[in-house]
Amino acid sequence: MTEATEIRRRARSEIAHALGARIRSKREIMGLTTGELGRAIEVTGNAIIQYESGRAAPETGAT
């Protein structure tokens, strides 16, 4: 793996973790479970858990 590739991988990981922390914070403020939030945005509760942990990122529709 080249240095540039590793830098991009780390940056994506940091962004995913920061986004996940924001999702969890807002969900908790709203008093929702992962399942409730998932149903509200038409994904599974497991998807919300993946987003919050930084292991996956939601689709944004951006190209």
Model pLDDT, residue 59: 82
Residue ranges making up the domain that contains 20: 3-53
Rounded Cα distance, 47 and 50, in Å: 5
Q: What is the pLDDT of residues 7-63, one digit of tens each?
A: 988 898 899 999 999 999 999 999 999 999 999 999 999 999 999 999 998 887 765
pLDDT value, residue 57: 86
Please state the pTM of the whole predicted model. 0.81
- The predicted structure's pLDDT at residue 36: 98
At 60 the pLDDT is 76
Name the domain count of the chain.
1
Whether residue 59 is contained in a domain is answered as no
In a domain, 42, yes or no: yes
Distance CA 6, CA 36 (A): 36
